[in-house]
Amino acid sequence: MEIINTIGRRKTSVARVYVKPGKGQIVVNERELKDYFPSEILQTTVKQALTIVKQEANYDVDVNVEGGGTKGQAEAIRLAIARALVTINNENRPALKKEGLMTRDSRMVERKKPGRRKARRRFQFSKR
C-alpha cells in the first residue's frame, strides 16, 4: 500500500496528512504528537478517528498543519485522518460518519461590520 494523502480544514487551519502502514507513530510539523499538543484532550481529538476504527497501532501519520489555533488545528487533523481511513477502506465510513467525523465544520469567524466595534457588538450608546 502506498502513502495516502488527504486534507482537512477547520476555521482557518489547514492540515495535510500522509498516512502509511506502520507502528502508530504520529508526527505533527516534524515534532512528536505529545510535544506539539501538550494537552491530553487535543491528543485524544487527533487520535479519535483511528480509535473508532481500532487502527491506532497500524498506521504512521505525518502531518503538516498551519493557521488557526491549537483546537482548530487538532480538529483539522482529525478530519484529514478520517478521510484517509475512508480512502484506505470504505467500510470505515459508516462508523466515522456516525460519530460526525466525516463532516467539515463550516463555522467561521463572522467579519467585522462598519460602524460596529466587533461583528455584532455596537459602540456604547449615550443619550446625553
pLDDT tens for each residue of 20-31: 999 999 999 999
- Residue 128 has a CB neighbour count (10 Å cut-off) of 2
Query: What phi and psi values does residue 38 have, to the nearest 5 degrees?
Result: -65, -25
The pLDDT value recorded for residue 85 is 94
Cell numbers describing residue 90? 470504505
Whether 120 maps to a domain, the answer reads: no
pTM of the complete model:
0.91
Instruction: Please report whether residue 118 resides in a domain.
Output: no
In a domain? residue 119? no
Q: For residue 17, give the H/E element and its range.
A: strand 13-21
What is the identity of the amino acid at 116? Answer: R
Q: How far apart (Å, rounded) are the C-alpha atoms in residues 30 and 59?
A: 17
Q: Report how far residue 91's alpha carbon sits from residue 50's, in angstroms, rounded to the nearest whole number.
A: 14
Question: 1 pLDDT exceeds 80?
Answer: no
Asked whether residue 116 is domain-assigned, the answer is no
What CATH number does residue 75 fall under? Answer: 3.30.230.10
| pLDDT tens column, 3-24 | 999 999 999 999 999 999 999 9
* pLDDT tens profile 77-119: 999 999 999 999 999 999 999 999 999 999 999 999 999 999 9
Inside any domain, residue 14? yes
* pLDDT reported for residue 11: 94
d(CA 25, CA 33): 8
Residue-wise pLDDT tens digits, 31-77? 999 999 999 999 999 999 999 999 989 999 999 999 999 999 999 99
103/79 Cα distance (integer angstroms) = 8
Give residue 78's domain range. Answer: 4-98
Q: Which uninterrupted H or E stretch holds 47?
A: helix 40-52
